[in-house]
Structure 1
């Protein structure tokens, strides 16, 4: 396809998506299925109008997926109910740590025993596919800032955290393949990739979010003394936090999510100081009246920038899922790839969630739903491209590409078909 045809295709898809919002909301499945089908139809499996080679184009795909995940993590972070309370966050924290490690171990074991991959490749594959996706799981996540639905909160928070917490295990897999220095007995990996990179990410994120939140509040003041472009502030915060994280060797995904949570917490704390209740700052509430003797409350970055970020999320979802469809070939669909997907969806994810939820008093219906909605997507694509860019041998890269793409494609299909009916049923109870 020439550039002209690409512009026409993307333009038509964007225009159709924009004009059909109400129609798509009524469909029993997610729009990502449509993008995947179009990409598959135009790709090498059917019409062969284009083929996007994930190994040759890994650098470009890495950048595109990286941007999409960063924007989605920020959007997820500003929706979190704050302030942070351990009891409220206990389940998603356990899912993003204990459950994720169990999932990685199970996938690595399956890859080694059944798929006959080297143990390093198995760990790497497990890390790629253990993290749940903040981009494609929107229909199962929190719908607006402060949404306190336990199921949606758990899925959103888990996706926000584990895209960063999976990174140490990506490095472990690369290390076992001889592509990253783990140090004697893994001490360097433990100290640098696990402890330092995780702690530094949280510190960088929280510090940046608090500073930006307080700065904007002071600039605006209670009487709109200074105008602020919320969208650019939000994008600037993402870029600065991610850049700082890279400079200090911290996990940038985790830092951006932490910054978004800290930004919202700071703005709500400042608003409460002048008498505004947290629920007044939810979706669809603009300039709430705070008291008879005060002016209207300044808009807050964490809420105002969210609409723009969600539009960018939808654009990145369209582009990347279309490319995923265009990367699929018929020979990718085989017993190895399909058996791995079934193992992850039916065994690894539910088992890891069950263990992670032990002694949390989480209702069985929520455990079961969380165990099903371990959506794999753009985050997995990013980690795959990251690994390829770090020198994974060609034969292993091809194997990992086939396995990851089919798991992502099947996740888009099975989770995209089931998410709306299941979430609607859950909300009735």
Structure 2
């Protein structure tokens, strides 16, 4: 019973700290995930009986937890999308259809010829590193659903928000690709046509359409119920209910739930007859739920690191992690944005902040649950952990200053105009 109280006290302490962390991290120009990671290290060292990963999680438990956290974050990302023009979507689409394939191809080739992994494991490594994380990247995304794309700061944040919302679902077909190749035993036995039409095209289309339709239906219901029956909805937890309903329903009808959740939030955000203040309340509620789940995840992630998770790979895995975060993603991003006539600083910021995190963990655990005979399981977990840790630290120290720089430029521009 004493352990039970210790756990409650420890988690309560961490979540109370989280209430002040965003404001505190903004003052010291360090992102809150870094501070949470340090708290996780501290709680592990004092022996808080949290059931720390030793050093790996159970695959199924990790899949369910990361799944919930990612879809909650994707709903928040969808609700953040402001009144932006179609032109503003060119950049995130290029990041998805140019940058992401370059990153995956690079990861696959390095996995094959540098890390010396098997073909299925190299494919899986490429797939799990494809998505930009909607959870840990929150500090470089839009803060408020009313923000508009009017300057460099908003442009960077909109692009990264839209990219995170899109590519977390688009990466799923390639996780399927790795599993199907592993199950088939070779490229020759693998049915490319079935994967292309079913796992890539059909499930993506169903996911997008289901999300747009569900978001529109919920918006219409809120409007009509108030208009004709006087029933007004103003509860924030509708966002959480919509998240789980959309995800579950879309997966049942053979679509990608990640894409559906993002587009449901996006569709509801753009339904004009729903009050703007209520949209903000939905966004704020789902963001608080995301923060709660993120606290638990990062604490446990810190414990897994202290328990030796990083020791499961060699120097090649560490070198790969640094190269992927600091070289491959930035160069791939700059290639995609090369044709845009804007400041190099803005393009570099978008390219550099391809933050990796919980989405990668979900795809990895999902693949291991779906197919239990992947080679190099420990190495893949360790390499992914290194990439997440590097992303948390390097992006965590740089993101607040970079976003602050663009915000200061905006303030100076507005002052000069007045």
Note whether the superposition's TM-score is higher than 0.5: yes
- Does residue 28 of structure 2 align to residue 27 of structure 1? yes
- Does residue 398 of structure 2 align to residue 421 of structure 1? no
Could you tell me how far apart the structure 2 residues matched to 1:195 and 1:394 are? 25
Match 1:204 to one of 198, 201, 210: 210
Could you tell me how far apart the structure 1 residues matched to 2:367 and 2:198 are? 18
1:150 paired residue number? 155
Q: Trace 1:349-388 onto structure 2 (pairs within 5 A).
A: 349-388=329-368
2:263 paired residue number? 258
Q: Is the 8 A contact 1:121 1:173 kept in 2?
A: yes
SS, match of residue 131 in structure 1: coil
Q: Residue 360 of structure 1: CA displacement?
A: 3.6
Q: Residue 300 of structure 1: CA displacement?
A: 5.3
SS, match of residue 51 in structure 1: coil
Q: For this pair of structures, how many residues does the alignment match?
A: 398
2:4 paired residue number? 3
Q: Is the 8 A contact 1:36 1:409 kept in 2?
A: no
Q: Is the 8 A contact 1:179 1:392 kept in 2?
A: no
2:165 paired residue number? 160
Flag structure 2 segments of 5+ consecutive residues without an equivalent. 410-418
1:149-187 C-alpha deviation (Å, 9 max, x unpaired) = 111000000001010000011111112222799985401
Could you tell me how far apart the structure 1 residues matched to 2:358 and 2:278 are? 26
- Does residue 199 of structure 2 align to residue 193 of structure 1? yes
Structure 1 residues 179 and 57 mapped into 2: Cα distance closer, same or farther (>3 Å)? Answer: farther
1:393 paired residue number? 373
1:314 paired residue number? 291
SS, match of residue 250 in structure 1: coil
SS, match of residue 145 in structure 1: coil
- Does residue 55 of structure 2 align to residue 75 of structure 1? no
Q: Residue 199 of structure 1: CA displacement?
A: 0.4
SS, match of residue 177 in structure 1: helix
- Does residue 156 of structure 2 align to residue 176 of structure 1? no
Could you tell me how far apart the structure 2 residues matched to 1:180 and 1:161 are? 30
1:192-235 C-alpha deviation (Å, 9 max, x unpaired) = 1110010000110001111111110122239x932214323222
Q: Is the 8 A contact 1:54 1:401 kept in 2?
A: no
SS, match of residue 133 in structure 2: coil
Q: Is the 8 A contact 2:184 2:190 kept in 1?
A: no
Could you tell me how far apart the structure 1 residues matched to 2:140 and 2:318 are? 24
1:287 paired residue number? none
2:412 paired residue number? none
Flag structure 1 segments of 5+ consecutive residues without an equivalent. 272-297
Could you tell me how far apart the structure 1 residues matched to 2:186 and 2:218 are? 36
Could you tell me how far apart the structure 2 residues matched to 1:73 and 1:325 are? 24
Q: Residue 335 of structure 1: CA displacement?
A: 1.4
CA-based RMSD of the aligned residues comes to 2.5
Q: Residue 117 of structure 1: CA displacement?
A: 0.7
Q: Return 411-420 or 346-355, whichever deviates more.
A: 346-355
Q: Trace 1:28-427 onto structure 2 (pairs within 5 A).
A: 28-43=29-44, 51-53=52-54, 55=56, 57-82=58-83, 85-147=85-147, 148=149, 149-178=154-183, 185-221=191-227, 225-266=230-271, 268=272, 270=273, 298=275, 301-328=278-305, 329=308, 331-332=311-312, 334-393=314-373, 395-427=375-407
1:351-383 C-alpha deviation (Å, 9 max, x unpaired) = 211222233434321211111111111111111
Q: Residue 16 of structure 1: CA displacement?
A: 2.3
Could you tell me how far apart the structure 1 residues matched to 2:124 and 2:230 are? 51
Could you tell me how far apart the structure 2 residues matched to 1:371 and 1:21 are? 24
Q: Is the 8 A contact 2:183 2:371 kept in 1?
A: no
TM-score, length basis structure 2: 0.88
Q: Is the 8 A contact 1:65 1:381 kept in 2?
A: yes
Q: Is the 8 A contact 1:54 1:61 kept in 2?
A: no
Q: Is the 8 A contact 2:216 2:267 kept in 1?
A: yes
Q: Is the 8 A contact 2:215 2:264 kept in 1?
A: yes
1:12-51 C-alpha deviation (Å, 9 max, x unpaired) = 111222255543432221121122223234448x969653
TM-score, length basis structure 1: 0.86
